[in-house]
């Protein structure tokens, strides 16, 4: 059985990362989404272990100190991070874990003890004008929020070269097909198939017994 992958998807807001994540998991339901831990209070309808792992600040700090977080950050006064335990369990079962994180979170995961199993993909919009059009087309955010997202996107896009693969999301169907291709190719890498050594050894034995 192969080891599971740590698949990192990053993009500026509006480039299609969340939609592509959902499509990828619909294509292969064995892919698990990394559930984050947070110190913020649960919102109505949120379930511990499904939406987030809710922790106290002391519990979260202990997890960080003990190396139980693959990445973490403080956002608006609350801590967020990716617990290591569930990811390692999925890897041992040959299941891939999908991370929807920014470039800073991706960098921490790549630099972690599990970094050799990381496959990172950055999703670019076809143009900045198209990125803004998509954000405004959602009809969910105020002009102020959209301006903030656009300003932040410049910094996010500047880190594109740190990723293994870069997809330009001209069309969702095409981008999804390309993302599937990346996952299938990475699963077939020789160093991700530990059973190959034994298989080839058995084949050599067959040659000798002919």
CATH number at residue 94: 3.40.50.300
The range of the structural domain enclosing residue 38 comes to 6-194
For helices 17-27 and 172-187, the axis angle rounded to 10 degrees is: 60
Write out pLDDT tens, residues 52-92: 999 999 999 999 999 999 999 998 789 999 999 999 999 99
Residue 201 lies inside a defined structural domain of this protein: no
Q: Tell me which residues of the chain have a pLDDT lower than 70.
A: none
Residue with tokens 């080891």, as numbered in its chain:
3
Q: What is the pLDDT of residue 189?
A: 92
**Per-residue burial over 76-109, b = 16 or more CB atoms within 10 Å of its CB, e = otherwise:** eeebbbbbbeebbebbeeebbbbbbbbbebbbbb
pTM of the model: 0.87
Q: What is the pLDDT of residue 110?
A: 94
Q: What is the pLDDT of residue 171?
A: 94
Q: What is the pLDDT of residue 142?
A: 87
Q: What is the pLDDT of residue 19?
A: 93
Q: What is the pLDDT of residue 59?
A: 96
Residue 129 lies inside a defined structural domain of this protein: yes
CA nearest 2: which of 119, 127, 124, 167?
119
Q: What is the pLDDT of residue 180?
A: 98
Residue 210 lies inside a defined structural domain of this protein: no
Residue 143 lies inside a defined structural domain of this protein: yes
Q: What is the pLDDT of residue 137?
A: 87
**How many other C-beta atoms can be found within 10 angstroms of the C-beta atom of residue 148?**
13
Q: What is the pLDDT of residue 68?
A: 93
Residue 204 lies inside a defined structural domain of this protein: no
Residue 39 lies inside a defined structural domain of this protein: yes
CA nearest 100: which of 84, 82, 126?
82
DSSP of the chain: -PPPPEEEEE--TTSSHHHHHHHHHHH-TTPEE-PPEESSPPPTT--BTTTBEE--HHHHHHHHHTT-EEEEEEETTEEEEEEHHHHHHHHHTT--EEEE--HHHHHHHHTSTTGGGEEEEEEE-S-HHHHHHHHHHH--S-HHHHHHHHHHHHHHHTTGGGSSEEEE-S-HHHHHHHHHHHHHHHHT-GGG-THHHHHHHHHHHHHHT-
Write out pLDDT tens, residues 92-114: 999 999 998 889 999 999 999 89
Residue 205 lies inside a defined structural domain of this protein: no
How many domains are contained in the chain?
Answer: 1
Q: What is the pLDDT of residue 122?
A: 97
From CA 198, how far away is CA 141, in angstroms rounded? 55
Q: What is the pLDDT of residue 193?
A: 86
Residue 140 lies inside a defined structural domain of this protein: yes
Q: What is the pLDDT of residue 89?
A: 94
């Amino acid at each position: 059985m192969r080891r599971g992958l740590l698949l990192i998807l990053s993009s500026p807001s509006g480039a299609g990362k969340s939609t592509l994540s959902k499509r990828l998991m619909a294509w292969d339901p064995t892919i698990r989404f990394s559930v984050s831990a947070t110190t913020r209070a649960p919102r109505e309808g949120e379930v511990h272990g499904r939406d987030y792992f809710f922790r106290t600040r002391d519990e979260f700090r202990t997890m960080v100190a003990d190396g139980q977080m693959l990445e973490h950050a403080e956002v608006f006064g609350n801590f967020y991070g990716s617990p290591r335990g569930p990811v390692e369990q999925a890897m041992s079962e040959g299941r891939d874990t999908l991370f929807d994180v920014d470039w800073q979170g991706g960098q921490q995961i790549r630099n972690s003890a599990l970094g050799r199993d990381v496959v990172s993909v950055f999703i670019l919009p076809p143009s900045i004008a198209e990125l803004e059009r998509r954000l405004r087309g959602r009809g969910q955010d105020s002009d102020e929020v959209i301006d903030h997202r656009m300003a932040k996107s410049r910094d996010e896009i500047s880190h594109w070269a740190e990723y293994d693969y870069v997809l330009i999301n001209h069309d969702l169907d095409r981008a999804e097909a390309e993302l599937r291709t990346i996952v299938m190719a990475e699963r077939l890498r020789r160093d991700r198939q530990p059973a190959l050594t034994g298989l080839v050894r058995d084949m050599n034995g067959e040659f000798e017994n002919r």
